[in-house]
Amino acid sequence: NRLAGEGGKCHITSQVMVSSYGAHFGEETPLVGRYGSGTIFFTYCNLRCVFCQNYTISQLGEGSAVDREELAGMMLSLQAKGCHNINLVSPTHVVPYILETVEIAVSRGLHLPLVYNSGGYDSVETLELLDGVVDIYMPDMKYSDEKTAEQLSGIKDYPRVNKAAVKEMHRQVGDLEIDNEGVAQRGLLVRHLVLPNRLAGSQEVVCFLAQEVSINTYLNIMAQYYPCHKAMDMPLLSRPLLEQEFYEATDLAHQQGL
């Protein structure tokens, strides 16, 4: 019971925690535009990725508690700075607070597209609460294999839940829509981080997107893996990604028409 001060696996109780917020220029190009993506990094996460590059935030709890008024103020501040959107990073475990906050912010003039930037482990039930609220979904597709998901993120059913989530996201917002200035306004944008030794199951991911979601899915295949957090203790993850591993994944996507 969060309202009674109890925290579950994500550690969050009745308060939201934010590690930082500001105009971010390191996100996907359609989100950044000229003035940046208005990014809010929530503390903690519903996954336990052993290779997380932001583990001090997602697992060690780096950040400060904020109330709904303060969070709404952050959104409005980012809008005032000219950001193209409000980008909610790791929002899954704080969806009820986000919904309450958006209502406050909209009543005060917030009108930017809302980006739901998640690890992809989202229930359809949760996503249905966001239907008509979120404009742009940007989930990860991390794994295709249950055993790998359990070993690397502590979640055995990640592939099943992830696929259902991506389908629901696409049902709500469709393919990514980009305006004349190259800035995303609505739609689905999928991220896939290539892991060493084919641990991410890239072939299954691209086939799923092309065959079961949309051939026009905007897919960002990422090459920035490097061993951090607990990854150095795992032989299959203890080295950087090889160039040929990345190009193998992009070739697979091109073969599927993505």
Higher pLDDT, 146 or 6: 146
Q: What is the predicted pLDDT for the residue at 60?
A: 76
Q: Where does the pLDDT of residue 143 fall: very low under 50, low under 70, confident under 90, or very high at 90 and above?
A: very high
Both tokens of residue 234? 């795992």
Query: What DSSP state is assigned to residue 209?
Result: I
Mean pLDDT (whole number) for 165-181: 98
Helix or strand (DSSP H, E) at 205: helix 202-208
Higher pLDDT, 18 or 7: 18
Sequence spans of domains, the chain? 2-255
Q: Fill in the amino acid letter for 159.
A: P
* Alpha-carbon 3 to chain mean position: 26
Residue with tokens 């049902």: 171
Residues 6+ apart with CB under 8 A from 70: none
Mean pLDDT (whole number) for 174-188: 97
Q: Which of 204, 192, 199 is nearest to 239 (CA)?
A: 199
Give the C-alpha separation, 130 to 191, whole Å. Answer: 20
CATH topology of domain 2-255: TIM Barrel (3.20.20)
Q: Fill in the amino acid letter for 142.
A: K
Q: What is the predicted pLDDT for the residue at 239?
A: 94
Give the C-alpha separation, 158 to 191, whole Å. Answer: 15
Q: Where does the pLDDT of residue 135 fall: very low under 50, low under 70, confident under 90, or very high at 90 and above?
A: very high
Q: What is the predicted pLDDT for the residue at 124?
A: 98
Q: What is the predicted pLDDT for the residue at 45?
A: 87
Give the C-alpha separation, 160 to 197, whole Å. Answer: 22
The string of pLDDT tens digits covering residues 202-250 is 999 999 999 999 999 999 999 999 998 898 999 999 999 999 999 999 9
Q: What is the predicted pLDDT for the residue at 15?
A: 80
